[in-house]
């Protein structure tokens, strides 16, 4: 029998307990021995809940119990989670977590501490909830040269964008509805400004490149500027707008960003709607693959956490090698990354926009019309460097919005 402790009895923590108790026989069989929850750590009391009898309020109780071999961190936030995890690893306990903030900031450090102490630090649930993506990248695709990872990594924003597209609704109205349904937090900033997706693509890029990616270096844009009219133009281009976290390697340099993009109906990510997430991977041997599923939620996320518990029980006394070095990965110059852009300019008539000025700034462009949209001129540029586009667009007045056109 292997004893484990669960840090935090919130949504995911209670889900971990439920998954193990509901599928106890399956978990035991796949782990090779019984998995027993000895402690649950939380500051609150849970009178009437069977968990009350194993509830503790002092982390030292878990840390000093040599019978506890695996610690499940599902508290969230960077501190005290990081300190608790570090102490557990240094005391010879394996740790698994769903904490994307902590993994994005301290992943390389914690992996190294685990290796030094011959234990394991696993984090499958930190990206994509219940979607298996960490393990495929670290185990299944180890012979591939991965040159792209692009994903819809946040269910809240994907839900909002899907509703805006399908119902022609305004961003603020859909956000309010998402909050009422529990799909969006009361303070939705981390989701709608792209910060959540940023941490996740930083983790995936760190794994693919084998070095620490500082998420603060990742160019990040949210969805707050996207309007119903942007979707009409996307439809005219046979696409839809998705908030993507993207890593691409070009000319030996890693480029990473989070931003709304118009995705072609021919691309697999186009069909990912609602609260679902998906991660698209391209390798030189694999070619294209996509991992799809529920990117959040109590049981899907808990399922991924428990899969790490099983893996750690199976590897007691043996560290699972992971290539994620502490040295910081220097990203390619974002200003040199080339994209096509949809540009919308307010105008009573197309003649109000000087086509010669447009050509001088952007070269040949594709002018497009969207049914039902009046008093504006829109066009799509050819691929242009980010820095040059930013400089060129300053020359035009009345710019309503710009959206990258990719895939």
Rounded-to-integer distance, Cα 42 and Cα 53, Å: 12
Instruction: At 350, list the tokens.
Output: 């197309």
Tell me if residue 200 is catalytic. yes
Measured CA to CA in angstroms, residue 169 lies from 164, 181, 346, 351, 374 at distances of 5, 16, 21, 30, 18
Instruction: At 274, list the tokens.
Output: 């609602």
131, 135, 139, 143: CA torsion to nearest 10:
50
Measured CA to CA in angstroms, residue 317 lies from 3, 108, 117, 136, 314 at distances of 15, 20, 9, 23, 9
Count H helices and E strands in the chain, helices first. Answer: 14, 19
> Which one from 200, 242, 298, 340 is the annotated catalytic residue?
200
Q: Supply φ then ψ for residue 4, to 5 degrees.
A: -125, 160
Task: Dump the DSSP string for 75-123.
Answer: --SSTTHHHHHHHHHHTT-EEEE--HHHHHHHHHHHHHHHHHTT--EE-
**132-140, long-range: CB < 8 A, 24+ apart:** 132/291, 132/304, 132/307, 133/204, 133/279, 133/291, 134/203, 134/207, 135/307, 135/311, 136/281, 136/291, 137/204, 137/207, 137/208, 137/281, 138/207, 138/322, 138/323
β 211-212/121-122 pair status:
unpaired
Burial of 159: CB neighbours in 10 Å, binned 0-12, 13-18, 19+: buried
Instruction: At 166, list the tokens.
Output: 């399908």
Instruction: Name the 3-class secondary structure at 159.
Output: helix
CB 279 within 8 A of CB 204: yes
Rounded-to-integer distance, Cα 41 and Cα 64, Å: 14
Rounded-to-integer distance, Cα 274 and Cα 154, Å: 10
Which residues are catalytically annotated?
Answer: 200
């Amino acid at each position: 029998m292997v004893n484990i402790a669960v840090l935090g009895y919130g949504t995911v923590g209670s889900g971990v307990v439920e998954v193990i108790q509901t599928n106890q026989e399956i978990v035991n069989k796949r782990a090779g021995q019984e998995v027993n929850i000895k402690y649950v750590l939380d500051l609150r009391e849970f009178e009437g809940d069977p968990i009350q009898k194993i509830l503790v309020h002092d982390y030292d109780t878990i840390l000093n119990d040599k019978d506890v071999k695996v610690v499940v961190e599902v508290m969230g936030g960077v501190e005290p989670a990081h300190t608790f995890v570090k102490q557990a690893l240094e005391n010879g306990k394996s740790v698994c977590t769903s904490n994307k903030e902590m993994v994005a900031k301290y992943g390389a450090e914690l992996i190294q501490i685990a290796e030094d102490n011959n234990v394991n630090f696993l984090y499958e649930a930190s990206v994509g909830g219940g979607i298996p993506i960490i393990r495929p990248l670290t185990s299944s695709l180890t012979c591939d040269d991965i040159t792209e990872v692009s994903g819809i990594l946040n269910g809240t924003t994907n839900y909002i964008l899907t509703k805006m597209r399908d119902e022609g609704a305004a961003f603020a109205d859909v956000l309010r509805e998402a909050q009422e349904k529990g799909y969006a937090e009361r303070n939705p900033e981390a989701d709608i400004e792209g910060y959540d997706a940023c941490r996740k693509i930083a983790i995936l890029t760190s794994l693919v490149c084998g070095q620490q990616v500082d998420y603060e270096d990742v160019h990040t844009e949210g969805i707050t500027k996207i309007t119903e009219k942007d979707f009409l133009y996307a439809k005219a281009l046979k696409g839809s707008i998705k908030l993507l976290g993207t890593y691409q390697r070009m000319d030996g340099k890693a480029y990473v960003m989070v931003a709304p993009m118009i995705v072609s109906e021919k691309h697999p990510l186009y069909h990912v709607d609602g609260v679902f997430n998906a991660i698209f991977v391209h390798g030189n041997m694999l070619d294209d693959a996509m991992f799809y599923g529920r990117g959040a939620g109590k049981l899907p996320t808990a399922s991924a956490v428990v899969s790490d518990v099983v893996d750690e029980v199976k590897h007691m006394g043996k560290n699972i090698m992971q290539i994620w070095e502490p040295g910081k990965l220097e990203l390619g110059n974002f200003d040199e990354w080339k994209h096509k852009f949809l540009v919308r300019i307010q105008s009573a008539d197309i003649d109000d926009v000087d086509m010669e000025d447009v050509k001088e700034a952007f070269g040949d462009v594709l002018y497009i019309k969207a049914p039902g949209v009046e008093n504006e001129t829109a066009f799509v540029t050819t691929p242009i460097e980010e820095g040059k586009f930013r400089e060129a667009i300053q020359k035009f007045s009345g710019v309503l919005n710009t959206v990258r056109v990719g895939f």
